[in-house]
Amino acid sequence: MERPRLIREDGLRHDGRKYDELRPVRITVGALNKASGSALVEYGGTKVLAAVYGPREIPQKHLLLPDRAIIRCRYHMLSFSTHERKSPALTRREVELSKVIREALEPVVMSETFPRTAIDIFIEVINADGGTRTAAVTAASLALADAGVPMRDLVVGVAVGKIDGVLLLDVDELEDMFGEADMPVAVAPSLGLITLLQLNGVLTREEFDAALKLALKGAAQIYEKSREALRDKYMKVRVEE
Amino acid sequence: MESQEARRVLVVPGEAFAEGDYKVLTPSYVVKVNKKYVAAVVGLAQINNETKEIAVIPLEGCYVPQPEDLVVGYVVDLGLTSWELDIRAPFTATLYAVDFLGRPVNPAKEDLSRYLAVGDTVLAKVEVFDRNRGPVVTTKGKGLGKVTRGTIVEISPVKVARVIGRKGSMHQLLEGETGCEVLVARNGRILINCPNKELEDVLVMAILKIEREAHIPGLTDRVKEFIIREKVKRGLIGGEAKAD
Amino acid sequence: MSHTPSLELVIPRLKASTIVSILKKGMRSSGRGLMEYRPIEIVPGYVRNADGSALVRLGNTVVVAGVKLEVGSPYPDAPNEGALVVNAEFVPTALSTFEPGPPDENAIELARVIDRSLRELKAIDMSKLVIVPGRRVWVVYIDIYALDHDGNLVDASSIATLAALMNTSLPKVEVDESGNVRVDRGTRASPLPLRNRVITVTIAKAENVMFVDPDLEEESVAETRLVVAVSEDGRIAGLQKSGAGGFTEAEVLTALDIALKAGEELIKKLVISNLGGLKAGSATPTGSSAP
């Protein structure tokens, strides 16, 4: 594929965004019926669904912990969510991301409330256009809140990329593909805790410091939208006349 | 009553809603971070500045058993000397045969499914629960035991308090206006016995309305109006049934 | 499905609190400083049949990495470049809780972290690994085995990987007129073209105290870790927060200061030891040469 022009002459990005601008964020809390909690999160063309079941007893008793609930997490992409068909089986990438997403959520979940149970988080990437793991963290955290699982804070994710030497907030797939670095970050803003941090690419120390600042700025905006979306589920209930 | 409801605030996890020194009535749903009280669940935060008490009433979540809670359980499994009941908690509850039958059982001679089979409904009380072991329930007590008549409406366990209402007001309203027997178990299963199918329909609709609108003030009045309107529609009470 | 792990090591609370309270005083129970690595021993060329290899002993942690070069097809999107495949396995010799079977999520994560650090930095000059342009290239298989686990498998693996790559040589190849490739493993044509060296530095955090190179007990008391891939020229070539828990922004910045400094020293040490020409196969994993 030919490398497209990612920073236009007017200084804007290929989709017209400014360097520190998020794609449109859309959030639906309680998108599913059967799950204890659920959320559908979209960052531009990226669409991720998360469902939470539990806390519940599970047949695999040997996994359970005596002093707290365990969290089980699966990040999975639907086979047609990507340009090339993805094999439905779990890839090594998905195994790794299931782990880092779980570890991004563990610090906020008050798992000590439900010893010897499991809280299951199922994440399905419906359409992938960059930032699927960070959208997944946001969706999973909202699904946990929707399930009524006690949490110290919500966790939201966003990625920062470096393209042609410029740091860009919330990179999409095209920018990621031709960029020099991609740094997904997840944060619990009220706790001031960074719970996911990866870097795929090379940054100087100065670039890193700036990239982290940019990510935290974007995360703060997504955090506000997440809180709104949780409240919306109740605010939108109208009194029936 | 309305003024008290107005002092509730809708909160989400991570949201600080009070600062200073308060007594936390719902410790499972509130965390203290640097002098600030932070909600741990989506819920209604109540702040009482006179008594210096705060609480967060969750709007979502599973049933967490407490001793003395009245629960409706479904038999999901049976062992040699006990049954396992689904009570909508993270853990299944155990009902011992010796408790249910009031005498010891001999597993070699008796098959417990003769008394309670999978799928049967039981009204019971939580006897012990400490989060480390599963809950144990008892059927010793008036009115407890196998449920053989009526029907069950399920609502979210965290909305049960609204169906009961302050000092039982909503519960009285539901029974009074429909003439049904309404038994509200703490785990969100409501056992109802109605004089007829029409009244049962009205009652079920009213209960589901309470669940949907639990967080919106003025609930009791709305439910009362709703029941009357539905009864009029069905010609169950006098007045002009509106054609619609 | 990824799940909250059981502890690999159950440490009595009394002992755990001792470990943490010593850390809080800026020391460690072993006498090491917070920013001090355990003794590192590198045995380059440990596996004779590999095209490059190294055994690394980091304190009591033992890891062996081997490189095998095979002739293969290039990726369609990079027809004139060699390919890289990194795999890691935690074999049951390493710890009582490690079970036989395919790599678990920890091993997969480790392999992918090391893979990314090499790939993103273009540590290996892939353009020099082409045999028949567009058709046949060298595929660099790096396999990492954790043999004995006493903490910080990531850094031990990263050291072993770099050491192995540094003594990897390309076998001689002949291409006949119809494009068939014949490999002569007995004759070495040239060293593997390395352009930039990279190493990981793992920083663990226990109750707001940060320290490098955690041993297994320290890992068990630490809430979380940050793995920083540091390049020879002092850039950040990868990051991975690993383990439940998190870092404040200030802690992340401090961790990077620590990592960049430690990484530079580690790479220096490695270059010296590899040049030092330690005899191949001179040590065994359980040998008495450990300090």
Domain membership flag for residue C143: yes
Three-state SS annotation for A42-61: EECCEEEEEEEEEEECCCCH
Please indicate whether, in this complex, the C-beta atoms of C235 and A205 are within 8 angstroms of each other.
Answer: yes
Contact C210, C203 (CB under 8 A): yes
| C108 lies within 8 A of chain A by CB | yes
| C-alpha R_g of chain B | 21
| B51 lies within 8 A of chain A by CB | no
- pLDDT for A131: 97
Q: Tens digit of pLDDT for each residue in A76-123?
A: 999 999 999 999 999 999 999 999 999 999 999 999 999 999 999 999
| B207 lies within 8 A of chain A by CB | no
Please indicate whether, in this complex, the C-beta atoms of C3 and A63 are within 8 angstroms of each other.
Answer: yes
Per-residue pLDDT band for C287 (boundaries 50, 70, 90) equals very low
Q: What average pLDDT does range C60-77 have in this prediction?
A: 96
Domain membership flag for residue C133: yes
- Cβ neighbours, 10 Å, residue B121: 17
Q: Tens digit of pLDDT for each residue in C201-250?
A: 999 999 999 999 999 999 999 999 999 999 999 999 999 999 999 999 99
- pLDDT for B38: 97
Per-residue pLDDT band for A228 (boundaries 50, 70, 90) equals very high
- Give the domain CATH number at C80: 3.30.230.70
Domain membership flag for residue C214: yes
Residues 135-194 of A with CB under 8 A from C: 181, 183, 188, 191-194
Alpha helices in A43-178, H assignment, sequence order: 92-105, 132-146, 173-178
Per-residue pLDDT band for A234 (boundaries 50, 70, 90) equals confident
Q: Between residues A239 and B24, which one has the greater pLDDT?
A: B24
Please provide the average confidence, as pLDDT, over all residues in chain C: 91
Structure tokens at B98: 């010796």
**Mutation site, A70, A105, A197, A206, interface C, largest C CB count within 10 A:** A197
In order of start, what are the domains of chain B with their CATH numbers?
Answer: 6-58 (2.40.50.100), 70-146 (2.40.50.140), 151-233 (3.30.1370.10)
| C6 lies within 8 A of chain A by CB | yes
Domain membership flag for residue C182: yes
Contact B44, B8 (CB under 8 A): yes
Domain membership flag for residue C2: no
Question: Above 50 in pLDDT, residue B244?
Answer: no
Strand duo B145-146 + B121-128: pairing: antiparallel
The complex scores an ipTM of: 0.92
**Mutation site, A63, A73, A97, A99, interface C, largest C CB count within 10 A:** A99
- pLDDT for C26: 92
Question: Above 90 in pLDDT, residue B7?
Answer: no
Domain membership flag for residue C6: no
Please indicate whether, in this complex, the C-beta atoms of A149 and B92 are within 8 angstroms of each other.
Answer: no
Judged by average pLDDT, the poorest of A48-57, B60-69, C50-59 is B60-69
Per-residue pLDDT band for C269 (boundaries 50, 70, 90) equals confident
Q: How far is C109 from chain A (nearest CA, A)?
A: 5
Q: Tens digit of pLDDT for each residue in B206-233?
A: 999 999 998 888 899 999 999 999 999 9
| B10 lies within 8 A of chain A by CB | yes
Number of domains in chain C: 1
Please indicate whether, in this complex, the C-beta atoms of C236 and A194 are within 8 angstroms of each other.
Answer: no
Alpha helices in C95-181, H assignment, sequence order: 105-121, 153-166
Domain membership flag for residue C16: no
Please indicate whether, in this complex, the C-beta atoms of C120 and A63 are within 8 angstroms of each other.
Answer: no
Domain interval for residue C122: 28-277
Per-residue pLDDT band for C267 (boundaries 50, 70, 90) equals very high
Per-residue pLDDT band for A238 (boundaries 50, 70, 90) equals low
Question: Above 70 in pLDDT, residue B240?
Answer: no
Please indicate whether, in this complex, the C-beta atoms of A151 and B132 are within 8 angstroms of each other.
Answer: no
Domain membership flag for residue C9: no
Give chain C positions within 8 Å (CB) of A140.
none
- Chains in contact with C, counting 3 or more C-beta pairs less than 8 Å apart as contact: A
Q: What average pLDDT does range A3-16 have in this prediction?
A: 90
- pLDDT for A240: 62
Alpha helices in C95-152, H assignment, sequence order: 105-121
User: Cα–Cα distance between C178 and C11 in angstroms, integer?
Assistant: 64
Contact A157, A182 (CB under 8 A): no
Contact A75, A133 (CB under 8 A): yes
**Mutation site, A62, A68, A199, interface C, largest C CB count within 10 A:** A199
Q: Tens digit of pLDDT for each residue in A22-65?
A: 999 999 999 999 999 999 999 999 999 999 998 999 989 889 99
For chain C, report the end-to-end CA distance as a whole number of angstroms. Answer: 40
| B76 lies within 8 A of chain A by CB | no
User: Which residue type is seen at B60?
Assistant: E
Q: Tens digit of pLDDT for each residue in C226-239?
A: 999 999 999 999 99
Per-residue pLDDT band for B145 (boundaries 50, 70, 90) equals very high
Per-residue pLDDT band for A66 (boundaries 50, 70, 90) equals confident
Question: Above 50 in pLDDT, residue C290?
Answer: no
